[in-house]
Chains A and B, each alone.
Chain A
């Protein structure tokens, strides 16, 4: 008689690989945590900020820990002006990545805040409760804080754009 086949049992459900989670964990511990942690701390406190070089004055985005212009590490945190201008936008309707599927379609935009590029930033952001057809280049937008829930108990913070009516 043949030996019965040996069996291996795998879990019923395999969780989404954490690599598909788009947001930084935002919970650093220890002295070697990311040097831009203040960016996330400031978001949690309701402010969208970035770094500016104290030495040469360069405003950068994303925030950095060393100035890419003069390599100084004397950087300061500055608040990004609340109101900006829509530079380009579209609406994600087909082919959304897994993690954002729950809330598609949504608008993806690029807006300019401050006097770009000399003393301002050009950043991407999501927009909700607005349709592609309702927007035009040059529309005024402001950044708002987004709270991300899950997975689990954890809360994280990000930003999005809202049209200024």
Chain B
């Protein structure tokens, strides 16, 4: 079966943050923003809809959200409609499904909406729901939400490789520098290393500023095949390939060494092998900095530096624009906030805006041609990476 090239041909976004707006408002805002971005789009062109949403049944007490989105945006779906769930990576999963559906010819024009409304009047409902992401019966029962888990990851990385709290703080400083130039980000103020180190302790060694936030937001993306891309835009962003990897691991016992994300290392190798590229070819890396330590480990497992040298990599400025690779030039999850289902789609939004040159000068990666987006889910067991380019792929790659 021959596969078709697929491109992102339109984008829409809401402001991220603690929003009073409802989940439905967020979907409508992102949808409207997308329709404004693609004036040539007739909603009758859209034949498929993929909605990335992690926990709407707990945060807004609503299930069956894909047809709800179809109704809100007035779209008659004739081919494929689905909601995708992979916790913190539900958004990238929606893109992945849309890509596969268009590449195989099942869909022609697909709308992807990534959305999450996490803040509610019930104070701790977010963390109380996040406890279900790990193995609830065996780890959740011990209070194992994301902050304590990633705190232990940080402790192991410091123990094994000598990474410091200052180096972790530097990740937040970098991402806030770019976030300060991103009007959609939840946090738009620059911070210093001292401010990060002096912020309130959440779960030692992680302080408040080492953590991404509980956020509301939505992103909409329009995807289509090569045949139709030019109907909608002069600047399509091509999907080169995508990988996922999970070792047979969900519970603590199966995780082995917490500071080594072997599944990410394997996913990255798969991606590089299938695209015949090396980490040196990557101009922009949107990575999943749910915590500062995460970005440090991702430098290592994505091959930007040697294992254990992620702390040194940020300290030497190699992940800034102008360094070895521009990592999270939009501010990452740390500055933007992390509305689970919207995060993976926000990463794609950032890459499209970069390739179009539609971002402020101070965070623009001039001349970038190849970008990756890394979205992880759960307690860092499941890793998802997609590669995007301004250049059309010669052969579409699904795997080895």
Per-position binary interface string of chain A over residues 40-67, scored 1 when its CB falls under 8 Å from any chain B CB and 0 otherwise: 0000000000000000000011100000
Q: Are B138 and A93 in contact (CB under 8 A)?
A: no
The stretch that binds A, out of B75-83, B152-160, B169-177, is B152-160
Closest to A99 in B: B128
Q: Quick check: is B396 within 8 A (CB to CB) of the other chain?
A: no
A71 to B277, CA, bound (A): 39
Q: Are A97 and B145 in contact (CB under 8 A)?
A: yes
Q: Quick check: is B140 within 8 A (CB to CB) of the other chain?
A: yes
For the side of the interface on A, what is the size category?
35 or more
Contacts of B135 in A (CB 8 A): 62
Question: Quick one: which of B147, B148, B201, B251 contacts A62, CB cutoff 8 A?
Answer: B251
Contacts of A90 in B (CB 8 A): 148, 151-152, 155, 203-206
Q: Quick check: is B307 within 8 A (CB to CB) of the other chain?
A: no
Q: Quick check: is A108 within 8 A (CB to CB) of the other chain?
A: yes
Q: Are A88 and B138 in contact (CB under 8 A)?
A: no
Q: Quick check: is B127 within 8 A (CB to CB) of the other chain?
A: yes
A22 to B139, CA, bound (A): 10
The stretch that binds A, out of B13-21, B252-260, B265-273, B354-362, is B252-260
Q: Which of A94-140 contact B (CB under 8 A)?
A: 94-101, 104, 106, 108, 110, 117, 121-126, 132, 137
Closest to B140 in A: A22
For the side of the interface on B, what is the size category?
35 or more
Question: Quick one: which of A89, A95, A158 contacts B152, CB cutoff 8 A?
Answer: A89
Q: Are B252 and A110 in contact (CB under 8 A)?
A: yes
Q: Quick check: is A24 within 8 A (CB to CB) of the other chain?
A: yes
Q: Which of A65-96 contact B (CB under 8 A)?
A: 68, 87-96
Q: Are A22 and B253 in contact (CB under 8 A)?
A: no
Chain A contact residues: helix, strand, loop or mixed = mixed
Q: Are B124 and A123 in contact (CB under 8 A)?
A: no
Q: Are A60 and B143 in contact (CB under 8 A)?
A: no
Closest to B214 in A: A95
Question: Quick one: which of B127, B139, B156, B253 contacts A88, CB cutoff 8 A?
Answer: B156
A132 to B152, CA, bound (A): 12
Q: Are B131 and A22 in contact (CB under 8 A)?
A: yes
Question: Quick one: which of B125, B142, B155 contacts A125, CB cutoff 8 A?
Answer: B142
Contacts of A95 in B (CB 8 A): 124, 127, 145, 147, 202
A109 to B291, CA, bound (A): 19
Q: Quick check: is A20 within 8 A (CB to CB) of the other chain?
A: yes
Q: Are A22 and B141 in contact (CB under 8 A)?
A: yes
Question: Quick one: which of A61, A97, A99 contacts B253, CB cutoff 8 A?
Answer: A61
A121 to B255, CA, bound (A): 11
Contacts of A20 in B (CB 8 A): 128
Contacts of A87 in B (CB 8 A): 156
Contacts of B252 in A (CB 8 A): 110, 122-124
CB distance from A104 to the nearest CB of B (A): 8
Closest to A94 in B: B202
Closest to B151 in A: A90
Q: A94-B202, A97-B127, A123-B252 are in contact. Are A89 and B155 (CB under 8 A)?
A: yes
Q: Are A97 and B143 in contact (CB under 8 A)?
A: yes
Q: A95-B124, A108-B143 are in contact. Are A68 and B203 (CB under 8 A)?
A: no
Q: Are B208 and A158 in contact (CB under 8 A)?
A: no
Q: Quick check: is B200 within 8 A (CB to CB) of the other chain?
A: yes
Q: Are B142 and A62 in contact (CB under 8 A)?
A: no
Q: Are B131 and A23 in contact (CB under 8 A)?
A: no
A106 to B141, CA, bound (A): 13
A39 to B258, CA, bound (A): 26
Contacts of A104 in B (CB 8 A): 143
Contacts of A117 in B (CB 8 A): 256
Q: Which among B125, B155, B258 has the greatest number of chain A C-beta atoms within 10 A?
A: B155
A104 to B252, CA, bound (A): 22
Contacts of A126 in B (CB 8 A): 142-143
> 22 A–B contact pairs at CB < 8 A?
A62-B135, A62-B251, A87-B156, A88-B152, A90-B148, A90-B152, A90-B203, A90-B205, A93-B201, A94-B200, A94-B202, A95-B124, A97-B131, A98-B124, A98-B125, A101-B124, A106-B143, A108-B203, A110-B152, A121-B253, A123-B253, A124-B252
The chain B residues found within 8 Å of chain A, CB to CB, are 58, 124-125, 127-128, 130-131, 135-145, 147-148, 151-153, 155-156, 159, 200-206, 208, 248, 251-253, 255-256, 258
Known: A62-B138, A90-B151, A122-B255. 16 other contacts (CB 8 A): A61-B251, A87-B156, A88-B153, A88-B155, A88-B156, A90-B204, A91-B203, A92-B145, A95-B145, A96-B143, A98-B125, A104-B143, A108-B203, A123-B252, A132-B204, A137-B155
The chain A residues found within 8 Å of chain B, CB to CB, are 19-20, 22-24, 60-62, 68, 87-101, 104, 106, 108, 110, 117, 121-126, 132, 137, 158
